[in-house]
Every structure is written in structure tokens, then in C-alpha cells.
Chains A and B, each alone.
Chain A
């Protein structure tokens, strides 16, 4: 399963910088990130090449962080594909807690990172694959 690193960061200048500084010191490459604003604080979500190392690096610097299972799905960058994906999820009663996406190659490939409610019980990877989407393994994601 793909790992996403969730980091608790306060909403004030310099906090994000101190996260990236720690990642830099451990030579971690960030593939994707998103920031969830919660007022006084935010939740920084990172897809990195070495999740476990990144986790240790940030923990060592006293950050509150956690590795979460996430579903990284390759979605062809064409109109209607995101809808096709969400339709499959809806039909199978799969709930998305959090999501973000990015285009990897314009007109060719995009990636959707989905946090699924009770992921282990949903059989979501199989359902998504059967619908024709490619679910990326941790290695595939790291090697993008």
C-alpha cells in the first residue's frame, strides 16, 4: 500500500520551511503534497520517495506526524475520467475522506491520491483496478 506522510503544522510563518528543511537534510524527495487548512493549524500531506525515512527524520525533529495508507491511482488526463473514478467509488459505497490530485503528464497521465474510509475493509484497490484504473504500488509511486 502507498504511504502518505501527514504532518501537523501550525499556521504561522516558517513552519512549512522547517518541515522542508528536515526533509532536505535527509535527502528526501517530495513527489506531491497538499495542505489541509484547519484554522490555527494545518495538516500537511506528503508523498515522498522514502516515506519511512521521512517519518523518522520529522519525528526526530519533534514533529507530530503519521504514516497513512493512501490509494494512488493513475488516471488518464482526459475529460470524464475523474468522474468515471468517482462513479465507481460511489457505486461501491466507498467513502473518500480526503483527496488531492495532480497532472503528471498533460493530456496523458494524472494521479489521484485518495484517503479511503476503512480502506482495509473496502476492497477498494481491486474495485478500482477492475474499473480499468491503475493503482500504483509504493515503488511505482516513488519511481515516478
Chain B
């Protein structure tokens, strides 16, 4: 198989050269980190005074972990390392759990990120000959814009459709003979059913590749997508705190995702003991961003569970590969590609006086898409006896939840006492989605 490269020199660099580059870049990132109020304090507490404390990559361990909570507590500018004049772009979480997290990019930060995404695109064999339909959400979410810039840089013809409106997506796929798409795996499965419903055959399309990400998924789901469309599907890994997509991506061999080690340092640690683990051992993915200076982020706890695949990839790239994400260390749910914490749902429900304090979150599949059902109990003391008000209440809960988690749930009203009562830790989430499709 002919192996395409975007930057062959760096993609095939020897381990020694890669590590030398990592060390050099790490020192620079530590310098930037010292410019932020957050790291200034954090690093001083860890006994560091400058990047001179980093003499080898082994010294990375002197740097304490950074968590999502640290990001929240540092909102808005605790992790900003430069003047706002130098900031070129902001990506942020919706902030619906309370305080949002924000990532600032300088112009150079956007460029280096884009370069890594271009590398991802090219390592799947995609090129300027391809028409790329980006079905990932644009906006503050990094999935849409991240791939957009990378694909554009790689020379592809980019159609920035963003997510949703499946019939229109399908029409555009036909009109422009889209050859590569970027979507969540569940959306890919959904589109296939829409094609069938509308009697559109694969022959009317020109689809050859799909970049699938934003949702952990199994090898079975990938195979299913590949068979349903007769295409190649490539797994993509990214998280907004680490720029977004472009962190790790599968190459033509589809044997794990190459973690771009000149851009990021990846560690796998035991989430209980925080001990570093060997390649092959599953644990929490910890990432240090080596290429972003407006918002430096070091040893970030992703909460994702995965392992580094031992051995070399046949493609010749020396950058180590990440396994599929096997789960999370926290209770975050991924619903149709959107990250949702049960606590977000709880907060909304608890503010509505007409419902009781017991609730349940149920997840299942409706066709290829995830379906979220939130069950609540009527609070008897607030019940007015009016059917119209009950319907209004249900509608109000749907809208409030949608406003918070961006997903429209089904809301079911129950009699007081219907939901199980737990002594001790309540089981609030019933996830009935098939395990191999999550």
C-alpha cells in the first residue's frame, strides 16, 4: 500500500529525534505556562521556578496534573499566557454545568493545530482530489472548524455544511459528489437509513471515506459503517481542551490512531494510583500540548481510558498509536456525539418546583441515533389538577433541558413514588444502548 505523508520527515522521525523535539518544545510550553496565573502558582507549589527545571522528558513528572476543574476555576483568563491582542480565536465549552472552559489560540496556535489536522487527513489517503463534506457542528465546538481548516490546508474541496438536516446532507452529497465525510458514527448509520427511505442508491453517491469521531465506538460499528457504504472509515480522536480533532488519527492501515507526538506528549496512567503505565496497559490518557502557547495545558487528565498500542505501524510512521477509547473515569455520557453529564440534567430538574427530587435518565437507540429519555415524578403538593398545565410542564422541562445540554430529550411524567428509591448511591442512568455501539 502506498503511504502518503503530509510531513514525512517529522512523521517518520526516529524516536530519539522525536524525543529531542518534545523536550525542546516542552521547555517552551513551560515558559508559556509560567506566564499564566494558574501555572505560576501551581508550578511554584511543585517546586519549579522556570523551564530550566526540565532537563529531560523524565522531568515531565515534576509537573502536576491539570484537570477540567482547574480549567473551570481559571475561567476566564487564569490560563491565558499572552496579551489578548495576540489571541486569534476562542473555543469554549457551553458552560452549562456552571462555569465554561475556554481555550485561547494565537494565530500561530491555529496554524500548528491546522497543520496536525492536515496530517490526519492526508494519512488516510485523502487529498486535493477529494470533495470533503464536513457534517460536524461548527461554532464554539472544535470538531467542525478543526477539520475544516485541516482539510482546507490539505487542499481538499471543503463543504462546510455543519451538522443536521439529513436530507440536505444527502442532496449535497449527490450534487457535489462528496468523496469524504466527517461525522459521528451514529450519524453515519442514521444517514444510511435515510438513503434507504428515500430510495437513494450508493451508486448515486461518490462516497469513499468517512472520518468518524466525537463518540467512542467499537470496531464492529466501524465495520458496519464500512459495509453499509462500501467505504473506508477512519477513527479520529480529539478533545476541545487539546485543540480539538487532530490529536490522534488512523492512517490507511486502520490499526490504532497515531498520536502526533511532536505536538503532544501522551502518557497513560493508572487512574487510581496515578502511576505511569507501560505501552499496552490500559489507563487514563494524559496529554501535554506542546504546540499551543496562548493557553498552555500540561499533563491534562482527559478522563478517557485507552492504551498505547505496542509496536510499529506498517505505514512507517514512528508516532505511537492510541487504542480505541474504552470508557471514561467519570460519568460523562456521550449522546449523539454531545458530551452530557448527568449532573447537568439534575440541575435543570431540581430547579422546577412542579417535579419531585427523584429522576432517571434512560438511554437507548432509536434507529441509529441515541435517544435520551428523562423520567421525572410530579410533585404532589404542586399539582393543580389541570391537564393543560401538565402538558406545559412537560414542554417546559424539554425546552430547559434542550437549552442546557443541546439535545432534545423525551420527558416522561410519572406519579410520585414511581421511580425506584435507592438507599445509598442512586442509579440515575440506565444506559440500554448496545455496548459495542457506544
Contact = CB atoms under 8 A, between A and B. Distances in A.
Nearest to A67: B385
**Which 4 A-B pairs have CB atoms at the shortest separation, nearest pair first?**
A66-B385, A6-B385, A64-B383, A64-B380
Residue with the highest number of chain B CB atoms closer than 10 Å, among A9, A41, A43, A65: A41
Contact of A43 (B380, B387, B416, B418): B387
Contacts of B390: 8, 38, 41, 43
What is the interface residue range for chain A against chain B?
A: 20 to 34
Interface in A58-113: 59, 62-68, 97-98
A8 B391 contact: no
A10 interface: yes
Contacts of A59: 380
Interface string B411-423: 0111111100000
Interface residues of B, number: 18
Given A40-B412, A40-B413, A64-B378, A8 B418 contact: no
Nearest to B375: A40
B14 to A, nearest CB: 63
A122 interface: no
Given A63-B380, A64-B379, A10 B415 contact: yes
11 contacts: A5-B385, A6-B385, A8-B383, A8-B390, A8-B413, A10-B418, A43-B390, A62-B417, A67-B385, A97-B386, A97-B388
Contacts of A40: 412-413
A41 B387 CA distance: 10
A68 B385 contact: yes
Contacts of A98: 387
Contacts, number: 53
A63 B387 contact: no
Nearest to B383: A64
Contacts of A62: 380, 415-417
A97 B384 CA distance: 14
A64 B384 CA distance: 9
Nearest to A18: B415
A63 B416 contact: yes
Most buried by A among B388, B415, B416, B418: B415
B31 to A, nearest CB: 59
A82 B429 CA distance: 52
Interface in B373-403: 378-380, 383-388, 390-391
Nearest to B410: A40
B383 A66 contact: yes
A15 interface: yes
A51 B317 CA distance: 79
Contacts of A9: 415
